[in-house]
Amino acid sequence: MGTLIESISGIRGIYGAGLDERVLVRYSLAFGTFCLNQPNRLPRRVVVGRDARVSGEACSQIVIATLRSLGIEVIDIGLAPTPTVAMAVLFEEARGGIVLSASHNPEDWNALKLLNEKSEFLSPEEGRIVMDMAQQPEAPMHREVQPGEIRTAEYISRHIDAILDLPYCQPDAIEAMGYTVVVDGINSVGALALPPLLKRLEVKDVQLINGEVTGRFAHPAEPLPEHLQETMEYVREMNADLGLVVDPDADRLALIDDQGNYVSEELTQVIAADFLWQRRSGSYATNLSSSRAIDDVAARYGMPVYRSAVGEINVVKMMQQYGAILGGEGNGGVILPDLHYGRDALVGTAIILQHLAEQKMPLSEYRRSLPQYVISKNKITVSDPDEVLRRFASRHAHEDISTVDGVKINLPSGWVHVRKSNTEPIVRIYAEASSEREASDLARWCMDDIGSDKKS
């Protein structure tokens, strides 16, 4: 029995043991048909890109051949960050895009991440249409279809051009600081995209580690502190001003300060918001699992924050509903609608460097000006997540809870959030408080509470 997870965050599985050729063909046919059925006048065109996973090239060939069999023109942009694929969909005026990447999952995983003509991940409604179509028996084709053309293109440079064209991107201020920046490319597409971006931003010295684009990750793919000890040590050895760490498809950005200390992924979006609110007024959107730090910084500017269910498209829809000028997720995701509606580590990098340069202070010092919270992130396996969540909500119905996405309990001293993962067969338990001990105690209380179900 293989592993395959079908959700709004993509069709994910272990390659060859869940995510196999038949799954790739079924979903490519379904998505291609979905694109052809859309009532727009855009060209019959789909963009395909991938991260550096070893299975990526084989998966890409299957996907491209399947799309072409429907008469769809395919723009193959090869190795590229997920946000670059999104930008290419807009540049090419395509009907959609497919990214072959399992993001933070281990290297033996891969996934189909599906984008609509607006370069956004499919909404739950759109995703359900594609998933339903993929479950239908393949119907024989009753009409002749000429295979679609295929064209290769490189879009990382155009993505960087678009970032440099933003009005608040001013490399002169960054050049004046004479920065040394370490990039951990985790042997994937971030190693292709971040160094040229930093050069264009006039960073004096760019040091790339784990830069061989092999898809054999030098450390676990999720940019968490326990995975980045060697990277932090390298930042110290180089006496660097900043360390940048991305996940394999470069839509998440984690920071290491000038002392070689990990800066929580939760603060990437907070720093970006602090930068933009100094220039523009407007609301912000994030998800229910993200830190209260964003609310505290928003309060300094008198700006509202809206929270959605976890999942990038859910945040995007909340942003659009309230006209947010920025959005993000606490996993290191920054969403800037001035560029496109998707998490983007490249634009996050540009914003953070610009902000630090204008503040004229090192990240370690600037970090102390931000709200101080600690999040404990945990995961457990349960046999029936829906039932566990139902019972948990019932036991705590008298408290300040939200059931928009799993169960979140807001407490005076912090919060806990229990929900099914969109990307792994687990239940996630996040807890936040003002100290590591308090956050760990909240998480442990929550896990003990859920564990009582197993004993009953």
Q: What's the pLDDT at 424?
A: 72
Q: Which of 103, 188, 283, 376 is catalytic?
A: 103
Q: What's the pLDDT at 145?
A: 82
Q: What's the pLDDT at 136?
A: 85
Q: What's the pLDDT at 141?
A: 53
Residue (of 27, 20, 26) closest to 1 by Cα position: 20
Q: How far apart are CA 34 and CA 352, in angstroms?
A: 38
Q: Lowest mean pLDDT: which of 241-245, 265-269, 298-302, 447-451?
A: 447-451
Q: Which pLDDT tens digit goes with each residue over 184-211? A: 999 999 999 999 999 999 999 999 999 9
Mean pLDDT of the 155-174 span: 97
Q: Which pLDDT tens digit goes with each residue over 442-452? A: 999 999 988 76
Alpha-carbon torsion angle 99, 105, 108, 113, nearest 10 = -20
Q: How far apart are CA 121 and CA 423, in angstroms?
A: 14
* Res 317 pLDDT > 60: yes
Mean pLDDT of the 154-170 span: 97
* Res 323 pLDDT > 80: yes
* Res 241 pLDDT > 80: yes
Q: Is residue 390 within a helix (H) or strand (E), and if so which, with residue range? A: helix 385-395
Residue (of 288, 317, 321, 319) closest to 401 by Cα position: 288
DSSP strand pairing (401-402 vs 205-209): unpaired
**Confidence label for 386 from pLDDT (cuts 50, 70 and 90):** confident
Q: In the numeric block, which tokens belong to residue 315?
A: 């945040």
Q: How far apart are CA 400 and CA 410, in angstroms?
A: 5
DSSP H helical segments within 44-183, as ranges?
56-69, 82-92, 124-135, 156-164, 171-177
* Res 455 pLDDT > 80: no
Q: Lowest mean pLDDT: which of 246-250, 295-299, 377-381?
A: 377-381
SS3 assignment, position 160: helix
Residues 6 or more apart whose Cβ sits within 8 Å of residue 397: none
SS3 assignment, position 451: helix
**Confidence label for 384 from pLDDT (cuts 50, 70 and 90):** confident
First to last CA, the chain: 29
Q: Lowest mean pLDDT: which of 2-16, 101-115, 265-279?
A: 2-16
For 194, what's the count of Cα atoms within 13 Å in the CB-facing half-sphere? 36
The residue type at 237? E
Catalytic: 103? yes
* Res 115 pLDDT > 80: yes
Q: What's the pLDDT at 57?
A: 97
**Confidence label for 24 from pLDDT (cuts 50, 70 and 90):** very high
Chain centroid to Cα 27, Å, comes to 21
SS3 assignment, position 14: strand
**Confidence label for 6 from pLDDT (cuts 50, 70 and 90):** confident
**Confidence label for 138 from pLDDT (cuts 50, 70 and 90):** low
Q: In the numeric block, which tokens belong to residue 344?
A: 């983007």
Contact 130, 114 (CB under 8 A): yes
Q: Which pLDDT tens digit goes with each residue over 29-87? A: 999 999 999 998 899 999 999 999 999 999 999 999 999 999 999 999 999 999 999 99
Q: Lowest mean pLDDT: which of 207-221, 239-253, 256-270, 442-456?
A: 442-456
**Confidence label for 10 from pLDDT (cuts 50, 70 and 90):** confident
DSSP assignments along 220-286, one per residue? -SS--GGG-HHHHHHHHHTT-SEEEEE-TTS--EEEE-TTS-EE-THHHHHHHHHHHHTT----EEE
Q: What's the pLDDT at 422?
A: 72
**Confidence label for 392 from pLDDT (cuts 50, 70 and 90):** very high
Taken as a whole, the chain contains a residue count of 456
Q: In the numeric block, which tokens belong to residue 207?
A: 């040091």
**Confidence label for 9 from pLDDT (cuts 50, 70 and 90):** confident
Q: How far apart are CA 405 and CA 418, in angstroms?
A: 8
* Res 287 pLDDT > 70: yes
- Report the mean per-residue pLDDT for the chain: 94
Contact 433, 439 (CB under 8 A): yes
* Res 143 pLDDT > 70: no
Mean pLDDT of the 106-117 span: 96
* Res 333 pLDDT > 60: yes
**Confidence label for 381 from pLDDT (cuts 50, 70 and 90):** confident
Mean pLDDT of the 333-344 span: 98
Q: How far apart are CA 238 and CA 160, in angstroms?
A: 26
The residue type at 35? C
SS3 assignment, position 361: coil
Phi-psi region of 119 (alpha: psi -120 to 50; beta: other; left: phi over 0): left
Q: What burial class does residue 115 get, using C-beta atoms within 10 Å of its C-beta: 0-12 exposed, 13-18 middle, 19+ buried?
A: buried
